[in-house]
Structure 1
Amino acid sequence: MTGGFLVVGSNSFSGAHFVRHLLEHGSEVLGVSRSEEPHEVFLPYKWLPNWKKNFGFEQIDLNHDLDRLMELVRSYRPSHVVNFAAQGMVAQSWELPEHWYQTNVVAQVKLHDRLRELDFLKKYVHVSTPEVYGTTDGWVTENFDFTPSTPYAVSRAACDLHLRSFHEAYGFPVVFTRAANVYGPGQQLYRIIPKAMLYARTGRRLKLEGGGRSIRSFVHIDDVADATRRAAIDGTPGATYHVSTTSEVSIRELVDQICEMTGVAFGDLVEVADDRLGKDRAYRLDAGLIRERLGWNDRITLGQGLAMTLEWVDAHLPLLSQLPCDYEHKQ
């Protein structure tokens, strides 16, 4: 597979869509994740007719199987590594913060220290998060002036700073991406958009933290996959690229749109809950750099993307209705 892509965290929502995007462009891909592959309803690369031709999967946990992963890397010799693997979920990171630091910092540092010795690695894309910035006032450009407000955000900021030091010290070919809120078909059901849609369709009540006052920009996963590929192929080592639209919406307004689409009254779907600890009020990412340097543009509006996601929910409603909609933590 010399010259192909290694996608770490290929079972994740963003990772699985990125695999699909690569396969659609004819790339050879090796995917690794700590869990076995989930149901294909959550794996968009399996929605392609010939996905097996250029894709292989290995179940590997970075916390425990680094030697095995490096054996695969030396065997396959990928030219590009794109890393989506991270312990997510902001609120839960307060409960067992050491798990977040182990997975998002310690395991990552060990991986990077091994990868920097490889002479065939052209680019390493680290998929980061705007959470590292904390609440932003105005549209923020790419920088490392972090003010993280949760253990999750601290863990991601620490890893970003570590990678920047590796780039400066060793010339490690890292490229960073930080995307706004990602959504689309195949997203985990504990995320706000599919959860609201599923609850609206099945008559359940949705708890809306803080009444939905937080402001977010939502960018469709197809546009994010395109941006990630551009960053991997044409991005400048050491550079960071924001991936975001220029529009914003409050979570309340977002849920209200979903209510209109599903024909459910807002008051029948929503019950207001307390806001979570350390929740940032707004992220505003200026994505001018990736537009200017790499020719990227978001193409799917929020209305179009919500319609695509609802179509996916409706197409698989009997199955999705039987699945849990709450995050289940794994160490």
Structure 2
Amino acid sequence: MSEHVYVLGSNSFSGGHFIRMLLDMGYRVTGVSRSPEAHPVFLPHLAANGRHRNGYDFLRIDINRDMPSLLARMERDKPAYIVNFAAQGMVAESWEHPEQWLLTNTVSPVILHNKLRQYEWLSRFVQISTPEVYGATQGMLVENTCYNPSTPYAVSKAAVDMSLMCFYRAYDFPVVFTRAANVFGPCQQLYRIVPRAVLCFLAGGILQLHGGGRSRRCFIHIEDVARATHEIMTRSRPGSIFHIATPRIISIRDLVFLVADMVGVSPEKHITVAEERLGKDLAYTLDSSKLRAELDWREQYSLEQGIEDVIRWVRDNLSVLRAMPQNYEHRA
């Protein structure tokens, strides 16, 4: 297989795992990110020696500032697939600079889409969306649930999704959408709850539990999401939306207590309760029956297997990870 895939947001956790899977399958891959590549401990697609694997190129391009460079490379390479993981992704921080979230997640992507719709070589554009667009809801969410975003981040993602759907209806733009539950696994950034909890418990630290951990989520292993994304990229019809989730829902408190039990520590000694974050939605319950029925996808990892995977990764890299920042660092 020699088809070419562009992965926007290649430095992201999900993007890196998706790239690794594509390279394993024989695709040619070009990764694009506005930031320099992160520490190798966070880049699952690197070779064992820490270098790029054959078939992979990395472009450092900020589409907010240098869209022409990206378009020139795309016009030269004519990739069959473009998968967009790129986004300002932090919910709480989006309240502080909402205009930056709208620029990165909505305005610049729409400029890109308006150029890409003119090219016949593009087979699929995969938009990695988010269940945040639905806002706080009750009951199971299906793919045609109305948007009700409750944070600037969610507004920015809902806006670009609606624009892309307009492009599909008006121009037959070959877009498909994914909305995954909370993704986790090895190589995830340390400000995310699962690796943060594992590292905190192994290093003897204190973990803040916002709102007492009342909010409830589905957590899904990144390898299961990567497989689903590939199936959606290659087999779905343009204009389709797919939820990627498992049936298991767990509160953040229960998740953290499960991690503590698997690490072998007493959670009461390592947890403090903090104020809930502004606009935090209490629950998302995604119905993934469409993905299961149409593309015959099934998850392969249980929650416990995924947590064990993260524990193993943290233990193997404990000295490196302990020296890393554990809080999100925003850049415009």
- Give TM class, smaller chain: over 0.9
Q: CA deviation at 1:326?
A: 0.2
In structure 2, what is the equivalent of residue 103 of structure 1?
Answer: 104
CA distance in 1, matches of 2:3, 2:78: 7
After superposition, what is the alpha-carbon deviation per residue over 1:285-326, rounded to whole angstroms, capped at 9, x for unaligned?
000111111111111000000000100000000000000000
The residue matched to 2:26 in structure 1 has which SS?
coil
Q: CA deviation at 1:118?
A: 0.9
The residue matched to 1:177 in structure 2 has which SS?
strand
The residue matched to 2:46 in structure 1 has which SS?
helix
CA distance in 1, matches of 2:243, 2:47: 28
Q: CA RMSD in A?
A: 1.3
Matched letter for residue 18 of structure 1: F
In structure 2, what is the equivalent of residue 38 of structure 1?
Answer: 38
In structure 2, what is the equivalent of residue 175 of structure 1?
Answer: 176
Matched letter for residue 71 of structure 2: M
Q: CA deviation at 1:136?
A: 2.1
Matched letter for residue 119 of structure 1: E
Aligned pairs for 1:49-198 (under 5 A) are 52-143=53-144, 145-198=146-199
In structure 2, what is the equivalent of residue 201 of structure 1?
Answer: 202
Q: 1:110 to 1:238 in 2, by over 3 A?
A: same
Matched letter for residue 166 of structure 2: S
Q: CA deviation at 1:2?
A: 7.6
For the 8 Å contact 1:2–1:77, the answer to whether it is kept is: no
Aligned pairs for 1:274-289 (under 5 A) are 274-289=275-290
Matched letter for residue 21 of structure 1: M
For the 8 Å contact 1:7–1:30, the answer to whether it is kept is: yes
Q: CA deviation at 1:265?
A: 1.1
CA distance in 1, matches of 2:255, 2:270: 13
In structure 2, what is the equivalent of residue 305 of structure 1?
Answer: 306
Q: CA deviation at 1:257?
A: 0.7
The residue matched to 1:93 in structure 2 has which SS?
helix
For the 8 Å contact 1:190–1:325, the answer to whether it is kept is: yes
For the 8 Å contact 2:211–2:273, the answer to whether it is kept is: yes
Q: Which has the higher mean CA deviation after the structures are superposed, 2-11 or 242-251?
A: 2-11
CA distance in 2, matches of 1:63, 1:197: 35
For the 8 Å contact 2:2–2:26, the answer to whether it is kept is: no
Instruction: Using structure 1 for the length normalisation, give the TM-score.
Output: 0.98
The residue matched to 1:45 in structure 2 has which SS?
coil
In structure 2, what is the equivalent of residue 295 of structure 1?
Answer: 296
The residue matched to 2:136 in structure 1 has which SS?
coil
CA distance in 2, matches of 1:328, 1:144: 33
Q: 1:51 to 1:291 in 2, by over 3 A?
A: farther
For the 8 Å contact 1:2–1:76, the answer to whether it is kept is: no
Count residues with an aligned counterpart: 331
Matched letter for residue 22 of structure 1: L
CA distance in 1, matches of 2:213, 2:63: 35
For the 8 Å contact 2:2–2:27, the answer to whether it is kept is: no
CA distance in 2, matches of 1:215, 1:178: 17
CA distance in 2, matches of 1:270, 1:218: 20
CA distance in 2, matches of 1:29, 1:309: 26
After superposition, what is the alpha-carbon deviation per residue over 1:231-287, rounded to whole angstroms, capped at 9, x for unaligned?
100011000000000111100000001111122211111000000011001000000
After superposition, what is the alpha-carbon deviation per residue over 1:208-242, rounded to whole angstroms, capped at 9, x for unaligned?
00000100000100000000000100011000000
Q: Which has the higher mean CA deviation after the structures are superposed, 142-151 or 234-243?
A: 142-151
CA distance in 1, matches of 2:3, 2:18: 17
In structure 2, what is the equivalent of residue 13 of structure 1?
Answer: 13
Unmatched segments (≥5 aa) in structure 2: none
The residue matched to 1:44 in structure 2 has which SS?
coil
Q: 1:117 to 1:2 in 2, by over 3 A?
A: farther
For the 8 Å contact 1:23–1:51, the answer to whether it is kept is: no
Unmatched segments (≥5 aa) in structure 1: none
Q: CA deviation at 1:144?
A: 5.3
CA distance in 1, matches of 2:198, 2:147: 34
Matched letter for residue 16 of structure 1: G
Matched letter for residue 140 of structure 2: W
